[in-house]
Amino acid sequence: MNKNNTLDKNLNILVALDLTEMDAVLLRYVSFLNSIFSIQHIYFAHNIKQSVLNKLYEDIIGEDIHIDLIVEEELKRSIAQHYDGSASHSLIVTSEQHTESALTDIAKDHDIDVVVAGDKTELKGTGGLPQKLVRMLNTHLLLVPEGSRLALHKILAPTDFSSNSIQAMQAALLISGQTKGVVDALHVYGIPSFYFPYIDREKAQEQAKKHLHIRFSELQKKHALPVDIRFNYVDKKEYSVVEVIQREADKGAFDLIVISARGANNLTRLFIGSTTNDLILSNQTMPILVIKKR
């Protein structure tokens, strides 16, 4: 994915490894991506937190043992075991206090197009690495959870009709073009329940569907979206927008969710859209590609 958001040119990819079982998941998934996309180079990276490194030397291992070299050898062993792609690759080991800062610097220095990181349950609800990376990176972010299928046949692109979400949808269409897959656009709407004593719910829903269908048709023309793209709109009722996205993604057995880092509110790049933030925080069962407007 180059700076113009295309997926049909050589990519520079940065993969964040952490010496856990997630590394094997990421290495297999990147090998799969290598079989689909044209990848120029893959940078595998691991950051040893400086405070942890200092404590190890002071309290445990002594100055005659170099933990960074041990870590590098273990990472090389894991890469050799689990990565079987054809793209050239290299390993970068850093020792910074904040991993998100280390990855951001590497991404800038090496003109990275996509950063790939593990989406782990223990990070949920902690303001963890994925949320920080979305805010700090000037690249797209692919979050891969354990159990991800090595497939990109069905892609879900949630939209709020903003220009940001249209960019994410266009990225989804570019991916589907590479994989001969399909893209479903999804809009989640809601009618405040306190109106229902005064209006006919069924009639209101029919009017909402007509309005949304017209609105999406206008977007198709404006942005030259394929006429055969599938557009679904779902009333969230008592559920949250993210709960509905997850339910539709699971029900449709999608392989990937593509969403913009921000929604209609485009005030500053430092903020993540609330839907994107909540989706990252939730326990995912499939990869999420977060498109960062640059």
Cβ burial 141-152 (10 Å sphere, 16+ → b, else e): bbbbbeebbeeb
Residue 130's pLDDT is: 86
Helix axes 274-281, 241-251, angle to 10 degrees: 60
Cα distances from 280 to residues 99, 200, 203, 220, in angstroms, run 18, 36, 35, 28
Residue pair 101/46 in contact by the 8 Å Cβ criterion: no
Mean per-residue pLDDT, 257-272:
64
User: Helix, strand or coil for residue 231?
Assistant: strand
Give the pair of three-digit tokens for residue 71.
């870590």
Residue 242's pLDDT is: 92
Write the pLDDT tens digit of every residue in 242-253. Answer: 999 999 999 999
Residue type, 264: A
Write the pLDDT tens digit of every residue in 160-196. Answer: 988 888 999 999 999 998 899 999 999 998 876 655 5
Residue 209's pLDDT is: 83
How is the beta sheet containing 154-158 ordered, strand by strand? 88-94, 39-47, 11-16, 114-119, 140-145, 288-291, 256-260, 154-158, 182-189, 230-235
Write the pLDDT tens digit of every residue in 14-60. Answer: 999 999 999 999 999 999 999 999 999 999 999 988 665 555 555 55
- Sorted by where each starts, the structural domains of the chain and their CATH numbers stand as 11-145 (3.40.50.620), 154-287 (3.40.50.620)
CA–CA separation, 231 vs 240, rounded Å? Answer: 20
Question: What integer best gives the mean pLDDT of the chain?
Answer: 84
Whether the per-residue pLDDT at 258 is higher than 50: the answer is yes
Whether the per-residue pLDDT at 201 is higher than 80: the answer is no
Residue pair 145/256 in contact by the 8 Å Cβ criterion: no
Cα distances from 52 to residues 86, 98, 176, in angstroms, run 35, 11, 42
Nearest 5°: phi and psi at 16?
-90, 110
Residue 107's pLDDT is: 96
The full DSSP string for 68-86 is HHHHHHHHHHHHHHH---S
* Residue 208: band (very low, low, confident or very high) from pLDDT cuts 50, 70, 90: confident
Residue 80's pLDDT is: 97
Write the pLDDT tens digit of every residue in 127-153. Answer: 478 888 988 998 999 999 998 999 999
Residue 267's pLDDT is: 43
Residue 125's pLDDT is: 40
CA–CA separation, 215 vs 1, rounded Å? Answer: 28
